[in-house]
Amino acid sequence: MLQFRFDAKHYLDYDLIPCFHAWHTARQSRAEFHHVEGTMSGKYYPAQSKQIPTRRQAIVGAASVIGAFSAISNVAAARSGEDIFRKAESIHQELVFKANRKRIYEIFTSTALFDNMTRDIQAQEGGNASPAHPTEISHDPGGAFSLFGGRIVGRHLELVPNERIVQAWRVAYWDPGAFSIVRFDFTEQGAGTKLVFAHTGFPQGDAENLLHGWKLHYWQPLEKLLAS
C-alpha cells in the first residue's frame, strides 16, 4: 500500500529568485490539449521535438537552483518594491514501497525495467508515443532520458546508486528551454523503501496536474510492478 504525505494544498510555496526556466509559460487554451486528468496523459501533448538539455545547460541549471535555495533568506529581506523574486510551487511526497531500494533505483534508471513498469499506462493512452522506442534512459550521470515516447525528457544531474537520482526534467508542451528539477531519495524502511520525492521549478499553475501525473504514471505502476 502506498503511503502519501502532503501538505494541505499538495505543494509547498517558496519565494525564489527565478532560475533554470522561464516562469511565464505560453498560456495556450487548455482546450487545445483536449483537457484530461494529469499533465502526463498522452492526449495532453501536441507533437513536439525533444528539448533535452546539453550537459553544460544541465550543470548550469542545477547550480542556479541550488544557489536560489541558499539565497532565500536574502531575498526575503529585500524591499517589497523590488521585483526580484517570484512565488513558485513545488511538490513534496514521501512514499513507502515494499521492495529494497536497489530494485526501485534500477527500475527508474533502466530502459527495459521502466518501459515494463509503464507498459499498461502507455497502452491505455496511446497518443504519439513511438511503439518502437517509448523509453530511453541513460545509465550515466549527465546522460539523457526520454519517457512515454518523448512526452517527458531530460538529463541526469546526479546519480548515486541505490540512494539518489536528481534530474533536469520537462514536459513536451512547456516552453522551449523550460526545465524543472526532480529529485528521488531512497532510504531503507524495515523490509521496504522510503522514497522522498521533490519536484521544483515547474511552470506556475501546473502543481495539481503534475501531482496527479506522478501518481498515475509513476507511483501506481511502480506499486503494481513490485506486487507482481
Other beta carbons less than 10 A from residue 101's beta carbon: 20
CB 37 within 8 A of CB 124: no
Q: How far apart are CA 85 and CA 187, in angstroms?
A: 34
CA dist 188 and 163 (Å) reads 9
The pLDDT value recorded for residue 86 is 55
Distance of alpha carbon 194 from alpha carbon 162, whole angstroms: 12
> Mean pLDDT over all residues of the chain?
73
Please give the share of the chain, as a percent, with pLDDT higher than 70.
58
pTM of the shown model? 0.67
Helix intervals (H) in the chain? 55-70, 72-76, 101-109, 111-117, 119-125, 207-214, 220-227
**What's the average model confidence in pLDDT over 102-108?**
98
Lowest-confidence range among 20-24, 97-101, 133-137, 214-218? 20-24
Q: How far apart are CA 42 and CA 33, in angstroms?
A: 10
* In CATH, 12-227 is 3.30.530.20: yes
